[in-house]
Structure 1
Amino acid sequence: MNAIEYKNISMAYGEKEIVHNLNLTVEQGEFVTIIGSSGCGKTTILKMVNGLLAPTAGEIFVEGKSTKELDLTELRRNIGYAIQGSVLFPHMTVYQNIAYVPNLLNKQDKKRTEEAVSKWMQIVGLEESMKVRYPSELSGGQQQRVGIARALAASPNILLMDEPFGAVDEITRGMLQDEISRIHKETGITILFVTHDINEAMKLGTKVLVMDKGAVQQYDRPEAIQQNPANEFVAALLSRSLR
């Protein structure tokens, strides 16, 4: 079974078409990085997976089931979602932020939630002593780690990440890239990761999706894209950005 399938997906806002007839399959366990020109539909196709946006045409299947037939609240609880700046609840401690979704799922099983929080804090490199801190007491990198832990705390099969490291400095960004790569290898989770940085896309992705003007330009392994860019747009993207 594939993790995600886009079938004949189009998305328009009025007269403006953002995504045009997208057909794409994401296999389970892939780390797909999505890159392309501004306004090409990267975030749009990400948000369709958990029902934050609905396509104007076509159908999306998550683990074999159409999102049209699924309860969106349940769907979102079972898909991790991490965005730039982490957007933590400021009035909640680190523990409360990470425990938010597990509490909804585990109901009265507090021990299970506590174990999940401790597990993911350890995996993303956060000390246990940070549980009682509030977001305002953390560095940008620490906040982002909490955001990742929160997205993973319910042990989802799919993780959506929208430019999650865009708001941190270069050194922290490199560390977070290494962390998410390690987490992917350890857990086998399927990840869709939007980025504007071609270097980040090529470093992290087991597959890279290159988009322009709402259409797929190339979808392949990083090494295959480097060795054989599909067209002038992909070649220009590589030559302009890779170092």
Structure 2
Amino acid sequence: MQAFQTALQVVYPARCTSCGCHVESDFGLCGPCWRDTPFIAGLVCDTCGVPLPGEGGGHAEHCDECLSVARPWSRGRSALVYRENGRKLVLALKHGDRHDVVRPAALWMARVAQPLLTCNTLIAPVPLHWLRMLKRRFNQSALLAQALARETTLPVCPDLLIRPKHTRSLKGMGVEERHAMLDGAIRVHPKRRAELIGRTVLLVDDVMTSGATLSAAAQACFSAGAQDVHILTLARTAKDA
């Protein structure tokens, strides 16, 4: 078996997930890419996971945006800031069919999600409308959610949420316009409602910008009987990004 694995490494050497250079193990980053990837650590907003300046005082802190915008979920985390290599990795997964990004991304997300996880947590991805799914061929959030479930050994329901209302791209819209566009766009699958009643749902998405999509998903979960909702994203936009 060892000889077979060695042979595979000769034929298919491990490469950095970001730049493609040779590395020691699969699904990793080389030293320079690791250094240049904006991992989120230290003090963060307890609602969205964006990094905050200073040190924590032992209690939950919140960013200005989450203090000014009502969030329907209670807690949230993100693994990367959406800039530089963070943005590059998200776009590689989302538009470049780079499914090899999923495994390391799930590891990073599982690490930052630890404060949110309980034995009552049900993982669920933010859904795509079927027209967008047909065009893209996969839901990157579902891939991340399933990989996260494997890392955390928590249950996942890939089709807990559905998106019956087709909406145009949110790019370029303001916060209020985004929320209005997504009003009623996401619902709990009628056949999956029993799975979330009385549970904490961990919503998984690739990027949080305004939070409008996650808000619509969280509201759908609460309307169907969820006890609580947390959010987890691979990347979070930040004002200084």
Q: TM-score, normalised by structure 1?
A: 0.29
* Structure with the larger strand share: 1
Q: TM-score, normalised by structure 2?
A: 0.29
* Structure with greater contact order relative to length (CA < 8 Å, sep ≥ 6): 1
